[in-house]
Amino acid sequence: MELIAFYAFATLAVISSLLVIGQRRPMTSVILLIVSFGALSGLYVLLDAPFTAVTQIIIYAGAIMVLFLFVVMLLNAHTEDDVPKTAVMPHGAKIGVVLSLALAAEVVWALQRLGVTGFGPDQGASASISSVARIGSALFTTYAFAFEVTSILILVAMVGAVVIARREP
């Protein structure tokens, strides 16, 4: 049962990700990426991580993708420009395909060699990592410093985004 759900979500994620990079309209890309994030959220549920699944939907599909959609609509650039092939890298696309296929083969080969099977202990033990209380207490004790630094990061990103996107006076 779990295996069927895994393959369904995995297929959905891979196909929608391929379609994201496979077609030329940024608007469709963004919508398809939301589908891919939904599938990943289902995989997080399979991994006993409901908190991560929900944050995936709220932050990624809800906030980040809406930001992307907003910019795509704002810029009014409907499709990719038909740029002439640059003289610098005439076969750039082919090299790119070969390099990414090589990367996929390397990564899959290396991960297969790890030879890990199963998921360790049974379902009872996995309840300990799916509790939001455990995540919260770890986040606010062990990782409290990182958590606070994150707020500075977001502040800097916000100010930076406003300054960069501002119209020149």
Closest alpha carbon to 118 in 14, 1, 3, 7: 3
Query: Based on CB atoms, which residue is closest to other proteins, 114 or 169?
Result: 114
Closest alpha carbon to 41 in 83, 9, 74: 9
To 10 degrees, the CA torsion angle through 150, 156, 161, 166?
Answer: 160
- Hey, which residues between 109 and 138 contact other proteins (CB under 8 A)? 111-112, 114-121, 125-126, 128-129, 134-135, 138
Query: Based on CB atoms, which residue is closest to other proteins, 115 or 169?
Result: 115
Half-sphere exposure of 128 (CA within 13 A, CB side): 5
- Hey, which residues between 36 and 75 contact other proteins (CB under 8 A)? 36-37, 40, 43-44, 46-49, 51-52, 55-56, 59-60, 63-64, 67-68, 71-72, 74-75
Kindly state the number of chain residues that form the binding site for other proteins, as judged by CB under 8 A.
87
Does position 148 interact with other proteins (CB under 8 A)? The reply is no
Does position 13 interact with other proteins (CB under 8 A)? The reply is yes
Closest approach, Cβ 169 to other proteins, in A, equals 13
List 86, 91, 123, 169, residue binding other proteins (CB under 8 A): 86
Closest approach, Cβ 105 to other proteins, in A, equals 9
How many other β-carbons are positioned within 10 Å of the β-carbon of residue 47? Answer: 15
Query: Based on CB atoms, which residue is closest to other proteins, 120 or 169?
Result: 120
The one-letter code for the residue type at 66 is: V
Closest approach, Cβ 96 to other proteins, in A, equals 3
To 10 degrees, the CA torsion angle through 158, 32, 103, 6?
Answer: 110
Check residue 83 and give left, alpha or beta (phi > 0: left; psi -120 to 50: alpha): beta
Closest approach, Cβ 159 to other proteins, in A, equals 10
Closest alpha carbon to 28 in 88, 72, 58: 72
Does position 144 interact with other proteins (CB under 8 A)? The reply is no
